[in-house]
Amino acid sequence: SGNEMTLLSLLLPFMQHGMVLAGVPHSVPELVRTEKGGSPYGATTVTGFDGTRGVDDNELAIARALGARVARLSGWVIPEPSSVELAAYSTQVAGKV
């Protein structure tokens, strides 16, 4: 299906904006049991045109595992200062020289 291509096509814009990427590791057992959704590139599902097919337990477990991984990784990332903060800092430093 187009799920993986959709996820892959989103990687470049995310990287261009400096975002940190996180995939679903193969240690998530539901990843090998899913029939319609979820891949190492991200958590997905296929619900059909009318949405009658809901999210199954494997897809939900994959999404939860990815959410937990993103939360864990975000705790390790030290945020960089924004351009506004950098400009203010540069002005302060320039005034002290």
- pLDDT tens string 22-53: 999 999 999 888 777 788 888 888 888 888 88
Tokens found for residue 91: 């002005």
**pLDDT tens digits along 67-88:** 999 988 887 776 666 666 666 7
Q: By residue range, what is the domain housing residue 79?
A: 3-96
Tally of structural domains, the chain: 1
The answer to whether residue 9 scores a pLDDT higher than 80 is yes
- Which of 10, 6, 37 is closest to 24 using CA atoms? 37
User: What SS3 state is found at 39?
Assistant: strand
DSSP state of 67: H
Q: How far is CA 82 from CA 22, 40, 86, 87, in A?
A: 22, 31, 6, 9
CA trace torsion 61, 63, 64, 66 (10° rounding): 120
